[in-house]
A and B are shown apart, each in its own frame.
Chain A
Amino acid sequence: MTSPEVRYRRLLALYPREFRREYEDEMLGVLMADSPGPAQVFDLVRSALAAHLSRPFAPGRDWRRAAWVVQVFGSMLMLAMALRVVAIEVTASTLPYGNRFDLDTVETLRVVGWSVALASALFGPRLIGHAGAVVGLVGEIGAPARYYLDTPAMVLYSYWLIVGAAVVLAAGLGAKRGTWPPRGSVPVAAAGVVLVLHGFVLFGNVLWPIRAALPWVAVALAGLGVWRLRPAVRRRVVAWAVPVVVTVPVVRVGFGGFIEYNGFHPESLRLLGAVQVAALVLVPVATFFVVAELNRRLEASRAVSRTGVADK
């Protein structure tokens, strides 16, 4: 092996393993034929860094299709959660001791935002869909933020909805629309109906004994919808969903003491600290990248075993 080749191999080692597997041999041939120099080295280092940064997003067809599925399914479920609050208000207003039906601005924003986001995800235009998701996200943040100074734990209870809204917005930005309706839409739509139904079932209703089971029925139906997707798309949809799911253990384990303290000390002014807010933001983001990377490695190893190409 010649000395320049050793040097180039060291530089090529900076690239992601999958990229090297695909192009290292070819690139070596080109590098050996081309003129060497600092510009060549700089270009390799810069491109290797860019390859690392772009890999988790892997802007391939399956990622973009999965992003669209997340946009559609996510908008459906977020709209259902917003309508669930409307259902609670409507049902409460019919009770003898209930308040007059009154939907405030924040809850209206949620319904309008997710309705627009869902309609645009299915029929376009994209920009209006993004605007709808932004409005929905503002509504999801605004709903618990109203009570933050009195009861900071409210934000933690609703945090999965805020992350869910952010995920739907982010997915929508990279989505590529497919054939309507996406596979698995029927069970996910049914999950949405169950969530809205949950809002109508208040104390005294004939369905009250099974009310606690309804969210789990919705989770099962949404899971069935995701299960019916093509495996490559399904794995990516799961990667998108993980940041939302991970908020549950993060809040329970990391903030259980905070919530309990808040419950027993309603007069307390203890709010979330900067490190806690950073953890709430960074943990979901990090889990997305970890699952996306695991998915990439899984697919790369399967591709290797299919083609019989040995890892270098």
Chain B
Amino acid sequence: MTEPTFLMLTALAGGPKHGYAVIEDVARMTEGRVRLRAGTLYAALDRLRTEGLIEVDREEVVQSRLRRYYRLTGAGEQSLAAESARLRAQAAMAEGRLRARRTEFGGATA
């Protein structure tokens, strides 16, 4: 799972959101490091819908323009949980090795 996909699913795990709200939430979660563009966002939304990880929650019209809210499906929740567990395990492994490295070098930092 790519980072933008992971972040989008994470954004939708907080509740149904429309496209621009997903962009804003991802930017907020990453403190501005990741700013999704419309092209990337909708390519990913289309793919995630096809894979059944997200679905349309509701639609509304704002200033004569369609606004569609997306929500996480059960499969999306499972997929996000699996990816979170994988990242957590990898982070724990990295932290463990860094701890061992610091002990080995007597607390000296490179």
Q: How many residue pairs bridge A and B at CB < 8 Å?
A: 62
Contact between chains at A28 and B50 (CB < 8 Å): no
Interface string of B77-102 (1 = CB under 8 A from A): 00000000000000000000000000
Contact between chains at A23 and B42 (CB < 8 Å): yes
Residues of B with C-beta under 8 A to A40 = 37-39
Give Cα A44–Cα B37 distance, bound, in whole angstroms. 8
Give Cα A23–Cα B59 distance, bound, in whole angstroms. 12
Any chain B CB within 8 A of the CB of A104?
Answer: no
Partner of A30, one of B20, B43, B46, B50: B20
Query: Which has the most chain B C-beta neighbours within 10 Å: A19, A30, A40, A61?
Result: A30
Give Cα A39–Cα B39 distance, bound, in whole angstroms. 10
Any chain B CB within 8 A of the CB of A124?
Answer: no
Interface string of B19-52 (1 = CB under 8 A from A): 1100100000000000001111111011000101
Contact between chains at B39 and A43 (CB < 8 Å): yes
Query: Which has the most chain A C-beta neighbours within 10 Å: B19, B37, B45?
Result: B37
Any chain B CB within 8 A of the CB of A48?
Answer: yes
Residues of A with C-beta under 8 A to B41 = 30
Any chain B CB within 8 A of the CB of A25?
Answer: yes
The majority secondary structure among interface residues of chain B is: helix
Residues of A with C-beta under 8 A to B39 = 40, 43-48
Given contacts A19-B46, A22-B46, contact A29 B37 (CB under 8 A): no
Select from chain A the residue with minimum beta-carbon distance to B63. Answer: A29
Contact between chains at B43 and A29 (CB < 8 Å): no
Partner of A25, one of B43, B46, B52, B66: B66
Residues of B with C-beta under 8 A to A45 = 39
> Number of residues in A with C-beta < 8 Å to the partner?
25
Contact count band on B: 20 to 34
Give Cα A23–Cα B47 distance, bound, in whole angstroms. 13
Any chain B CB within 8 A of the CB of A51?
Answer: yes
Give Cα A45–Cα B43 distance, bound, in whole angstroms. 12
B36 to chain A, nearest CB (A): 9
Partner of A27, one of B42, B50, B52, B62: B42
Partner of A33, one of B20, B43, B45, B68: B20
Given contacts A25-B66, A26-B19, contact A31 B43 (CB under 8 A): no
Residues of A with C-beta under 8 A to B52 = 61
Select from chain B the residue with minimum beta-carbon distance to A33. Answer: B20
Give Cα A34–Cα B19 distance, bound, in whole angstroms. 11
Residues of A with C-beta under 8 A to B67 = 26, 29
Any chain B CB within 8 A of the CB of A59?
Answer: yes
14 other A-B residue contacts (CB within 8 Å) besides A28-B65, A51-B43 = A19-B42, A26-B65, A27-B38, A29-B19, A29-B65, A30-B23, A34-B38, A39-B37, A40-B37, A44-B39, A47-B43, A50-B43, A51-B46, A61-B50
Residues of B bordering A, CB below 8 Å: 18-20, 23, 37-43, 45-46, 50, 52, 62, 65-68
List, sorted by A's number, 16 A–B pairs whose CB atoms are closer than 8 Å.
Answer: A23-B42, A23-B45, A25-B66, A26-B66, A29-B19, A29-B20, A29-B62, A29-B67, A30-B38, A34-B38, A40-B37, A40-B38, A40-B39, A47-B39, A47-B43, A51-B43
